[in-house]
């Protein structure tokens, strides 16, 4: 750019053109015919036009790239903000401890938190609130120990969405001293839907540091 300006200034300062016939210059009165009579001015004009064209092109391209970058960043921020997952266990106590049985149904509060991405799970209530609308994978595993052979075993729980029963894994018998059961479902949840595990009347769960009873969910993809 500086070189072009310098060339144009030098050309204007010199008392004669660059290898241009002065006679033909004075004999050409037609306006707009500089490229015929003054090749130096024509070259500068052409270079300035090219510089202006390239500047416009680069500015336009830069604006397009900035727009695409902002759109991509917005999409990534939205994906990152929509991440949701939790996985919890009933207890982390070293010794076997049982939850229930109770005379009424009671929500299970899983206290041991492995992950709670998005803070959708509340360990005080045992309820997971879906932060975004989308398809979620839900898994519930329950385990119980009768304490001795021949005693009643009742490893059971209900998977609830907004208080409605979705699945009810359970093992009730007197054949085993201990048993477990798992259910896995994929559900479309709306933002604000509440998911919880309920312990029905007469059922009881037992756990220790091995984490036999677990409750997990994660967002497969958002539909917002």
Q: Measure the CA–CA gap between 3 and 43, rounded to whole angstroms.
A: 13
| Highest averaged pLDDT of the listed ranges 23-37, 67-81, 164-178 | 164-178
Domain at 82-222: CATH code: 2.60.120.40
**pTM for the predicted model, two decimal places:** 0.64
**Residue 48 scores a pLDDT above 60:** yes
The whole-chain average pLDDT of the chain stands at 80
Q: Where are the domains of the chain?
A: 2-15+38-80, 82-222
Q: Residue 124: which pLDDT band, with cuts at 50, 70 and 90?
A: very high
Q: Measure the CA–CA gap between 93 and 40, rounded to whole angstroms.
A: 91
3-state SS track over the chain: CHHHHHHHHHHHHCCCCCCCCHHHHHCCCCCCCHHHHCHHHHHHHHHHHHHHHHHHHHHHHHHHHHHHHHHHHHHHHHHHHCCCEEEEECCCCCCCEEECCCCCCEECCCCEEEEEECCCEECCCCEEECCCCEEEEEEEEEEEECCCCCCCEEEECEEEECCEEEECCEEEECCCCEEEEEEEEEEEECCCCEEEEEECCCCCEEECCCCCCEEEEEEEEECC
pLDDT in tens, 159-172: 999 999 998 877 77
Q: Residue 75: which pLDDT band, with cuts at 50, 70 and 90?
A: low
- What pLDDT does 88 receive? 96
């Amino acid at each position: 750019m500086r070189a072009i300006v310098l060339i144009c200034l030098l050309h204007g300062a010199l008392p004669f053109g660059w290898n241009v016939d002065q006679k033909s210059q004075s004999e050409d009165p037609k306006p707009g015919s500089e490229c015929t009579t003054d090749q130096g001015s024509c070259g500068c004009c052409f270079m300035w036009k090219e510089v202006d064209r390239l500047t416009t092109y680069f500015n336009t391209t830069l604006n397009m790239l900035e727009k695409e970058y902002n759109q991509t960043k917005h999409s990534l921020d939205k994906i990152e903000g929509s991440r949701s997952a939790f996985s919890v266990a009933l207890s982390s106590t070293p010794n076997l401890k049982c939850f229930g049985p109770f005379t009424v149904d009671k929500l299970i509060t899983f206290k041991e938190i492995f992950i709670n991405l998005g803070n959708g799970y509340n360990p005080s209530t045992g309820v997971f609130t879906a932060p975004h609308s989308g398809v979620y994978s839900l898994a519930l595993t329950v385990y119980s120990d009768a304490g001795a052979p021949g005693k009643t075993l009742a490893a059971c729980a209900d998977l609830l969405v907004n208080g409605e029963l979705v699945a009810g894994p359970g093992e009730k018998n007197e054949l085993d001293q201990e048993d477990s059961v798992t259910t896995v479902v994929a559900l479309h949840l709306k933002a604000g839907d509440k998911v919880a595990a309920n312990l029905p009347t007469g059922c009881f769960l037992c756990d220790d540091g091995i984490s036999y009873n677990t409750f997990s969910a994660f967002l497969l993809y958002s539909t917002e």
